[in-house]
Amino acid sequence: MSLPLDEIEDGYKFQQIIAEYFRSLKSEKHDFHIADIHVEDNGVGGDDGCDILVEFHFEDVIGRHCHRWIIECKSQKKAVSLEDISTNNLETILKAKSANGYLLICKNDATAKLKRIFADLNSNGTSNYVIWNGSELWHRLIKRLTLIQAFFPDYYRVNFLNNNAKIDFDELVKRFEKKLKSNEKE
């Protein structure tokens, strides 16, 4: 099944969609307990492995806490491999940005080797290393109608501007979640 993400040819647009997704968490309803979110979009090229820096602020009865994520966006059609990112430099990037985690978002997916390296990094350190493939990203985006309308107007027009738009949307999300669960079992 082809996702609307597959139509994105421009790496900058892909990065903008992701930055807007995190910004939307600030204003749209979600299931997280976040006091504030800051999103720093570093533009294209020369970003030293940090396309977007997201800072989540949480509040509890003791005080305010911060968790910073470096986000690297890869919009290439092929699976992202070790050669496409500098894994030797990840800890340095995290320290330079005072970040707690590194999120690699791939329009397609990451190679099995890169996923194993991230798993090893997670088991050996205090930082979090996470990969979202295109399906995982779309699963998050599809719940943000303002983003779908802004960045995927044709998809929005076809899937939401009909007589049963809300019913169709709910059914689409259910089918997508069911597909994700069946893929996880494989």
List pLDDT tens digits, range 143-183.
888 999 999 998 888 887 765 555 666 777 788 888 777 77
Confidence of residue 138 (pLDDT cuts 50, 70, 90): very high
Q: Report d(CA 148, CA 159) in Å as an integer.
A: 10
Tally the domains of the chain. 1
Report the pLDDT averaged over residues 132-141. 94
Q: Report d(CA 125, CA 58) in Å as an integer.
A: 23
Q: Is residue 65 part of a domain?
A: yes
Q: Is residue 175 part of a domain?
A: no
Q: Report d(CA 5, CA 45) in Å as an integer.
A: 21
Per DSSP, helices labelled H in the chain are 11-27, 90-96, 112-124, 134-141, 145-151, 153-160, 165-185
Q: Is residue 165 part of a domain?
A: no
Confidence of residue 47 (pLDDT cuts 50, 70, 90): low
Q: Is residue 177 part of a domain?
A: no
Q: Is residue 124 part of a domain?
A: yes
| pLDDT computed for residue 167 by the predictor | 61
For all residues of the chain together, what is the average pLDDT?
85
| pLDDT computed for residue 186 by the predictor | 59
Q: Range of 27's domain?
A: 4-142
Q: What's the whole-model pTM score?
A: 0.81
Q: pLDDT tens, 49-105?
A: 789 999 998 888 888 889 999 999 999 989 999 888 876 678 888 998 999 999 999
The CATH number of whichever domain residue 61 belongs to comes to 3.40.1350.10
Q: Is residue 13 part of a domain?
A: yes
Tokens matching residue 94? 């995290």
Question: Is a pLDDT exceeding 60 seen at residue 35?
Answer: yes
Q: Is residue 85 part of a domain?
A: yes
Share of the chain above pLDDT 90, in %: 42
Question: Is a pLDDT exceeding 80 seen at residue 118?
Answer: yes
Q: Is residue 44 part of a domain?
A: yes
| pLDDT computed for residue 9 by the predictor | 87
